[in-house]
Structure 1
């Protein structure tokens, strides 16, 4: 990763918080961050009250005048860094805080930390004519693709043995919109690229985001890297074996703070025999309707962007009898 875009940002934030540019020094490296934070006497008494995300200082050096240097050297995968992908950049965001009192008391000082990189080619899956689609809808651009086994690029073949996994990726380019969460409201398999009243289908996702195929297979939504994409690890099933097959999906880009029974992504946990919300386990109640009828209606801001829904077709792909 290279071409860091930090100089202007650091200067602007330092001015906004009344700090000099030398008080907080941030160096973003390829996979890590090195931060030196000069703290005054009021903050230097207890280093454990100084945090980068949930990480304590890697080292702490007192100065003769009572001030001190707190140093943080951590990987970008540590300290609860949040990763955001735009069409051009990868952004890792976190916050430096001073907490003189434990939670729920708020911190007395906060300072945003951002490392911005050019997004590496291939980090977001490429699309190929046989296995991917990309469509614009309003001001949004939706993508879908079938990936290879290690999720690093497009599938090299559209033939999958029975029982193997078909990684299906979908994403939305947020462009200038507010942050959006990408949901798969409905997905079915069919032997035709167009749906007709008599088309024979196999349900994969139904009931407004419930991965029903996961109740009888190992299919699951994988944890998200960022809200604007979703990855379905679909286990190849016994439907139209040996024939060309298409995956028909309804994609929705939605307000991530407005999840409901009608806007969600739910996995089935076989161990607990319960449904779980992909994005926030504390709201698993939104998935309780998956075994009945999910009809909740989400409130929608009148100023929300239009063009949030798209029907898409992925394929063709073929499942063979050669089971794993």
Structure 2
């Protein structure tokens, strides 16, 4: 990708330099070791960590993550200024709910050989794109057209479709290599980030919730339902995805679309469930070949913004339309209801007691009159 022969320097902007190291190689690879610096009560969870939009390769110790990636992958941003080419990215660790995520920016800066600067633009796309056209959009529930609204209630489904249009007549099969939710169209500025698809095609949210791929209608299209979960409620959300397309051929570990089947407690390969062994790495770390893209094309797409809202906030308007009787019944205090029931029972018991006294006890003896004759006879 680059032919720079001299590694000028690397810069790593972190909150704690001792917890971070980076090796910017001259072979287009970057290796990062990162200790997020969690509390003693928290264990490092690799599934919560990302380099751009790529998961770590491994956990090299109980608290240190290892990333290894190509500089044209994982969302690296490339800039060429004054004879130098800079690759920038962001390390992100999502802590437990309620706590802010941890982030650290990284940079690799190379010196360009004389005469090669003209080969680079001021900001070159960070993925390999061919003449093929990639598209991604949010659809309505039956995928017959665009979504009528980009506001989704918590727990509802967000239908997403991605397609590729080949330049030539060769058939292509499209995949989603990785996707993340972020609160900004520029992932480096996002205040919250959450992985959706990772490990080279594993739909992680299908195990955490009700997200799933849908059966393919054709090779150059892929559809999925994403469950609207508690992420940045009420804020603008963007879906960042790396898309890939390959000539239709036999499947392998590098080209897969896997989702978790909750009922069967297992990962399943979308295109051929009989070869679901290709998804066996989804719960750990999937390794892929460095030449995986040699016969394919890729692109990065950002979808949004859309908004996820709680059901209560959506129904508040409908509450205002209730009649006063309905509102009064709905807001009736429980303690007052209990008091009313007790008073009713006491009243019923009192009525029964009075009735018994009048009808049976006193009423049965009303005709009784002691005879004076009987009293004075003896």
Quote how far apart the aligned CAs of 1:232 are.
1.2
Please give the per-residue CA displacement for 1:220-253, whole angstroms capped at 9, x wherever unaligned: 0000000101001111110000001000000001
Quote how far apart the aligned CAs of 1:199 are.
4.4
TM-score by length of 2: 0.47
Q: 1:260–1:298: 8 Å Cα contact kept in structure 2?
A: no
Q: Distance in 1 between matches of 2:237 and 2:132?
A: 27
What is residue 47 of structure 1 aligned with on the other side?
A: none
Q: 1:258–1:298: 8 Å Cα contact kept in structure 2?
A: no
Match of 1:271 among 247, 263, 266: 263
1:196 aligns to what SS in structure 2?
A: helix
Quote how far apart the aligned CAs of 1:196 are.
0.9
Match of 2:200 among 204, 208, 211: 208
What is residue 310 of structure 1 aligned with on the other side?
A: 299
1:310 aligns to what SS in structure 2?
A: strand
Match of 2:251 among 244, 259, 268: 259
TM-score by length of 1: 0.54
Q: Distance in 1 between matches of 2:274 and 2:194?
A: 31
What is residue 281 of structure 1 aligned with on the other side?
A: 273
Q: 2:183–2:190: 8 Å Cα contact kept in structure 1?
A: no
Q: 1:211–1:220: 8 Å Cα contact kept in structure 2?
A: yes
1:291 aligns to what SS in structure 2?
A: coil
Match of 1:238 among 230, 252, 261: 230
What is residue 308 of structure 2 aligned with on the other side?
A: 319
| 1:53-72 superposed matches below 5 A | none
Residue 168 and residue 174 in structure 1: after superposition, are their counterparts in 2 closer, same or farther (change >3 A)? same
Q: 1:219–1:234: 8 Å Cα contact kept in structure 2?
A: yes
What is residue 157 of structure 1 aligned with on the other side?
A: 149
Quote how far apart the aligned CAs of 1:298 are.
7.9
Please give the per-residue CA displacement for 1:187-239, whole angstroms capped at 9, x wherever unaligned: 11000001117742111111110001011211000000001010011111100
Q: Which has the higher strand share?
A: 1
What is residue 178 of structure 2 aligned with on the other side?
A: 186
Q: 2:163–2:221: 8 Å Cα contact kept in structure 1?
A: yes
Aligned residues: 186
Q: 1:260–1:296: 8 Å Cα contact kept in structure 2?
A: no
Q: Which has the higher helix share?
A: 2
What is residue 172 of structure 1 aligned with on the other side?
A: 164
Match of 2:132 among 108, 126, 140: 140
Q: 1:259–1:298: 8 Å Cα contact kept in structure 2?
A: no
Q: Distance in 2 between matches of 1:258 and 1:301?
A: 15
Quote how far apart the aligned CAs of 1:263 are.
1.6
Q: Distance in 1 between matches of 2:214 and 2:171?
A: 20
Moved over 3 A (4+): 298-302
What is residue 249 of structure 1 aligned with on the other side?
A: 241
What RMSD in Å do the two structures reach over aligned CA positions? 2.2
